[in-house]
């Protein structure tokens, strides 16, 4: 018999707001994801290097390293180029979205967010990343 925990996609949620981590983390677990949390940019990099997630949800405003810096760092390393990154922020201004995409993010979701939109985006990005080929974000 297979272990269901192994089949659940691994999502790294990076946000320094504990209430947001709790809300989003619980919702994603209910939707069938294993959720790991990092509370700042440096911790996010450490966790990715320890165990590569299937997807990263990354807040832009973080202590130590901001979301742009984390995204750029991951995209410069061939081991993590195919890991989908969703930027997650309350600041949904067009220039921030453009900067995020220039850093290599795959999607941008604004807070407050709609759970179905977030879950749908996560599932789509993980499915795309699991397809063979060498598509870059």
Domains and CATH numbers, the chain: 7-128 (3.40.50.2300)
Indicate whether 1 pLDDT > 50: no
Give the model's pLDDT for residue 114: 86
- Overall pTM surpassing 0.75 (yes/no): yes
Q: Is the pLDDT of residue 6 over 80?
A: no
For residue 89, how many C-alpha atoms fall within 13 Å in the half-sphere facing its CB?
Answer: 22
Distance CA 87, CA 21 (A): 14
Q: What is the pLDDT of residue 95?
A: 77
pLDDT score for 101: 84
- What pLDDT score was predicted for residue 90? 76
Kindly indicate the confidence band of residue 135, based on its pLDDT and cuts at 50, 70 and 90.
very low
| pLDDT, tens only, 16-65 | 999 999 999 999 999 999 999 999 999 999 999 999 999 999 999 999 99
What's the CA gap between 111 and 118, in Å, rounded?
Answer: 11
pLDDT in tens, 78-127: 999 999 999 988 766 777 878 888 899 999 988 888 889 999 999 999 99
Closest by CA position to 26, among listed 110, 119, 106, 91: 119
Statement: residue 13 has pLDDT above 50 = yes
Residues in the chain, overall count:
137
3-state secondary structure of 22: helix
| 23/54 Cα distance (integer angstroms) | 20
Q: What is the pLDDT of residue 92?
A: 62
Residue 3 confidence (pLDDT) above 90: no
């Amino acid at each position: 018999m297979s272990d269901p925990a192994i089949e659940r996609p691994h999502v790294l949620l990076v946000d320094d707001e504990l209430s947001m981590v709790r809300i989003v983390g619980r919702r994603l677990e209910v939707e069938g994801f294993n959720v790991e949390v990092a509370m700042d940019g440096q911790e996010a990099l450490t966790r990715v290097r320890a165990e590569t997630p299937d997807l990263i949800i990354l807040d832009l405003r973080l202590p130590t390293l901001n979301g742009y810096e984390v995204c750029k760092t991951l995209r410069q390393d061939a081991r993590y180029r195919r890991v989908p990154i969703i930027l997650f922020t309350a600041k949904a201004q067009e220039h921030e979205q453009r900067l995020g995409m220039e850093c290599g993010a795959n999607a941008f979701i604004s807070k407050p967010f709609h759970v179905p939109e977030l879950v749908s985006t996560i599932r789509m990005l993980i499915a795309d990343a699991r397809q063979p080929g060498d598509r870059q974000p």
